[in-house]
A and B are shown apart, each in its own frame.
Chain A
Amino acid sequence: MAAAVEARRHNLDVMVIDEQATPGGQIWRSVEMTRRRDEVLGPTYSEGRNAAELFRACGANYRPNAQIWQLEPGFRALFTSEGQVGMVEASKLLLATGAQERPAPFPGWTLPGVLTVGAAQILLKNAGEIPADPVWIAGSGPLPLLYAVQLLRAGGQIAGYLDTTPKARWREALVHLPAALKAPGDLLKGLGWTSMLRRRVRVIRDVCSIEAVGEHRITKLRYRSGSGPEVAVPAGLLLVHEGVVPSIHPALSMDCTLKWSAAQDCFVPVLDAWGESSVDGLFIAGDGAGIAGARAAQCRGTLAGIRAASKLGRLDSTSAERVAVPSRRRLARELAIRPFLDALFRPRAEVYAPADRTVICRCEEVTAGAIRAAASVGRPGPNQVKAATRAGMGPCQGRQCGYTVTRILAAMQDRSPEDVGFFHIRPPLKPVTLGELATGIGCATDDRQEGEFRSNDSHVIE
């Protein structure tokens, strides 16, 4: 949204293709819809309404409810919207595809009644919906703390909070505390959430393993804390979360260079100070550029918008540098707390070493044991394992199993995750039917000449 607003400020022709029905991304999801949830969701959420208003008024061609399934160099994007195929060409491309929750497989994680914490928060934002009965929350990171507080404010009940942050993380995070103190507001907010939780909810610390048990839905939860015995409790709903990782599928499909971030335990695109990737004219902003939150996303979007305008000759490089100063300053402030948060909430080792019986590919129902069996023949990479087991071949295209396959191979072959790499990502990025494809016949030739598909200076995907 920020990139579109900035690009429009310099009179670029902008199209924004959004998978969702309304602007806001994940953090400000459904922010335009209702003010009745403001008190529950808090001020950081409602400040997104202003951003959405600016975006609506900026004059970009906004295409909600549209799914991109192919990106091509140069650039061309093919998408589906309301059953019809669309195509757009643009000289600059910005990927603002955000983040997804880190897949953290454990036995029973595919059972109905097990959701991510992010999913529950989306239900609250989009539908004003909370768990009907006391809910178990298991995980680590700012999001489960924030959701727990929002749920209590909304009158919901928490059966128990299983904190999976390893004990040692506090010590590891301390060295980054001085830098984090530059953003005391965020630290205080976090402390406030923790103390509210401690007062009102049963918190079990240092939880190292969880298991959901049930036949057609979760009925029981098993967990182990530290070196203690396994505990079993009745549970009808379990929310899990082990941090977030950038959505890298579109960037991978365009062959952007990615590197391994040891601090955030994931791949991140290699970007310059404007957010431009290794592919000339292709920018990445928001959490897709590395996890940093909504405010940092706005700064990065603005910077990319400035640079796109500059490259298209709308302002010279000296003016671009000058205009960029406030956003750069704000971005530095927003990033100050990250090393502390990254160290504190670094996932426990168990997340990457699921037991053999655990399903790791939700779509094709492939277990960790099957991956290990395939990996024991020769020295395969992720793509060979995919071909041998079908893990990563289902509709989600490895969004839920990619990292687990990489980490299992890395552990077995004594290599780094960076060296092992990720699945090769090909189109379609999202499923597209033959019927939808048929609506696009002639798209690339006749219609373009008739001017139905506009050529854009800049083109943004959210």
Chain B
Amino acid sequence: MFRKLHESDRGPVTIEIDGEIVPAEPGESVAAVIMRASAPWARLTPNTGSKRAPYCMMGVCFDCLAEVDGQSSVQTCLVSVRPGMRISRQAGKRRI
């Protein structure tokens, strides 16, 4: 859906989104990487199971919630990528 203007100038890293290895740049948000993934969405809503993707990118809509390194309901627009991060799209409510 989105594309990078240029290659990373701080060394490329990769993160994993539901098993897909995606190149990322240190400093960018996880949600920004999701927007370049082959399936650019983050979660299914708890009520109707409809697909949602990052909408506001600034922490006020909560539609970018996903599981990051095992923790559910993380606002991926507020988390910067770290090498080897594992992201899972979230189906419905958070797992406890």
**Are both chains from one complex?**
yes
The answer to whether B78 and A394 have CB atoms under 8 Å apart is no
Q: Which of A115, A118, A132, A394 contacts B3 (CB 8 A)?
A: A132
The answer to whether A394 and B62 have CB atoms under 8 Å apart is yes
* CB under 8 Å from chain A, chain B span 28-60: 28-29, 32-33, 35-36, 40-41, 45, 47-48, 50-60
A418 to B33, CA, bound (A): 41
Q: Which of A65, A115, A132, A394 contacts B57 (CB 8 A)?
A: A115
The answer to whether B25 and A127 have CB atoms under 8 Å apart is yes
A396 to B52, CA, bound (A): 14
A11 to B55, CA, bound (A): 41
- Tell me whether A236 is interfacial, beta carbon within 8 Å: yes
Q: Which of B3, B25, B27, B55 contacts A119 (CB 8 A)?
A: B55
Measured between beta carbons, the chain A residues less than 8 angstroms from B73 are: 395, 431
Q: Which of A34, A67, A112, A130 contacts B53 (CB 8 A)?
A: A112
Q: How far is the CB of A241 from chain B (nearest CB, A)?
A: 11
The answer to whether A130 and B9 have CB atoms under 8 Å apart is no
A217 to B5, CA, bound (A): 24
- Tell me whether B17 is interfacial, beta carbon within 8 Å: no
Q: Which of B47, B48, B57, B80 contacts A123 (CB 8 A)?
A: B57
The answer to whether B58 and A126 have CB atoms under 8 Å apart is no
Measured between beta carbons, the chain A residues less than 8 angstroms from B65 are: 395
Q: Which of B6, B45, B48, B58 contacts A128 (CB 8 A)?
A: B6
Q: How far is the CB of B39 from chain A (nearest CB, A)?
A: 9
Q: Helix, strand, loop or mixed for chain A's interface?
A: loop
A114 to B1, CA, bound (A): 11
In this complex, what residue of A is CB-closest to B73? A431
Among the listed stretches A175-183, A284-292, A357-365, which one makes contact with chain B, having 4 or more residues with CB under 8 Å of it?
A357-365
The answer to whether B47 and A365 have CB atoms under 8 Å apart is yes
A399 to B33, CA, bound (A): 25
- Tell me whether A36 is interfacial, beta carbon within 8 Å: yes
The answer to whether B32 and A126 have CB atoms under 8 Å apart is yes
The answer to whether A110 and B27 have CB atoms under 8 Å apart is no
Known: A130-B2, A131-B2, A395-B65. A122 touches B57 (CB 8 A): yes
- Tell me whether A455 is interfacial, beta carbon within 8 Å: no
In this complex, what residue of B is CB-closest to A394? B62
A237 to B53, CA, bound (A): 12
Contacts A21-B27, A100-B56, A237-B1 aside, 20 further interface pairs with beta carbons under 8 A come to A19-B59, A19-B78, A65-B78, A67-B78, A115-B57, A116-B56, A118-B58, A120-B57, A126-B29, A126-B57, A127-B4, A129-B5, A130-B2, A130-B3, A131-B3, A132-B1, A362-B61, A396-B60, A399-B61, A400-B61
A116 to B63, CA, bound (A): 12
The residue among B41, B58, B63 with the most chain A CB atoms within 10 A of its own CB is B58
A111 to B1, CA, bound (A): 13
Q: Quick one: CB contact mask for B12-34 with A, threshold 8 Å, 1 for yes?
A: 00000000000001011100110
Measured between beta carbons, the chain A residues less than 8 angstroms from B9 are: 34, 36
Q: Quick one: CB contact mask for B65-85 with A, threshold 8 Å, 1 for yes?
A: 100000101000110100000
Q: How far is the CB of B78 from chain A (nearest CB, A)?
A: 6
Measured between beta carbons, the chain A residues less than 8 angstroms from B56 are: 100-101, 115-116, 118-119
* CB under 8 Å from chain B, chain A span 414-446: 431
Known: A110-B52, A129-B3. A33 touches B27 (CB 8 A): yes
A34 to B47, CA, bound (A): 41
Measured between beta carbons, the chain B residues less than 8 angstroms from A86 are: none
A30 to B80, CA, bound (A): 11
The answer to whether A129 and B4 have CB atoms under 8 Å apart is yes
Q: What are the 10 closest A-B residue pairs judged by CB atoms, nearest first? A: A112-B53, A127-B32, A119-B57, A127-B28, A122-B57, A395-B62, A132-B3, A112-B41, A399-B60, A128-B5
* CB under 8 Å from chain B, chain A span 43-95: 65, 67, 83
In this complex, what residue of A is CB-closest to B5? A128
Q: Which of A100, A119, A396 contacts B62 (CB 8 A)?
A: A396
Known: A110-B50, A110-B52, A216-B51. A36 touches B6 (CB 8 A): yes
Q: Which of A114, A129, A155 contacts B32 (CB 8 A)?
A: A129
The answer to whether B40 and A122 have CB atoms under 8 Å apart is no
Q: Quick one: CB contact mask for A1-32 with B, threshold 8 Å, 1 for yes?
A: 00000000000000000011110001000100
Measured between beta carbons, the chain A residues less than 8 angstroms from B28 are: 126-129
The answer to whether B32 and A123 have CB atoms under 8 Å apart is yes
* CB under 8 Å from chain B, chain A span 219-253: 236-237, 247
- Tell me whether A154 is interfacial, beta carbon within 8 Å: yes
- 21 A-B pairs within 8 Å (CB atoms) are namely A20-B78, A36-B9, A40-B5, A65-B80, A100-B60, A101-B56, A110-B50, A110-B55, A118-B57, A122-B58, A123-B2, A129-B3, A131-B1, A131-B3, A362-B52, A362-B55, A362-B63, A364-B47, A365-B47, A365-B50, A395-B65
Measured between beta carbons, the chain B residues less than 8 angstroms from A396 are: 60-62
A237 to B41, CA, bound (A): 13
A130 to B2, CA, bound (A): 5
A128 to B35, CA, bound (A): 12
